[in-house]
Amino acid sequence: MKRAFILAVLAAAPLQAQNFTTQAEVQPILEMTRANWVGLGTATGRDLLYFSHVLSWRCGIDEIRYGLNTATPYTVLQMEPCYPETTQPNAIRDLPYRSYPQGTIRSIVVELRFEDGQVLLENFHRGEIRFD
């Protein structure tokens, strides 16, 4: 009878959803979605480099670096904090893009660094990430 009661309680309990706030949760997603890490919009007359995708998974990332028109990711992307006290800890409240004069970006390299020292690196050419 105790076993049946425990099983009934477990079956009635809602499953705990993942918050996607750890390296173990976000790294596999980022590895599978490399082509979506950044986007380039130009409709405003400027190069707007969007980091929306990687910033959506930032709670599991230690640091994001990028480099424009170079093979070296020299710029650290400042990230807003995670919001673990909310139901959407990965919500983006700051602007998810950086603005440059139109035509500035020919290529970009993006590096994601994780707490355990692992690094994911990806290179993009303008035509691959332009969406307008």
Predicted confidence at residue 18, as pLDDT, reads: 66
Structure tokens, 80? 């807003």
pLDDT digits (tens, 9 = 90+) for 58-85: 999 999 999 999 999 999 999 999 999 9
Report residues of the chain scoring pLDDT below 50: 1, 5-10, 12-16
Predicted confidence at residue 4, as pLDDT, reads: 53
Predicted confidence at residue 109, as pLDDT, reads: 98
Predicted confidence at residue 7, as pLDDT, reads: 47
DSSP 52-97: HHHHHTGGG-SEEEEEESSSS--EEPP-PPP-TTSS-TT---S--E
Question: Based on the number of CB atoms within 10 Å of its own CB, is 59 exposed (0-12), middle (13-18) or buried (19 or more)?
Answer: buried
8 Å CB contact between 98 and 49: yes
8 Å CB contact between 50 and 96: yes
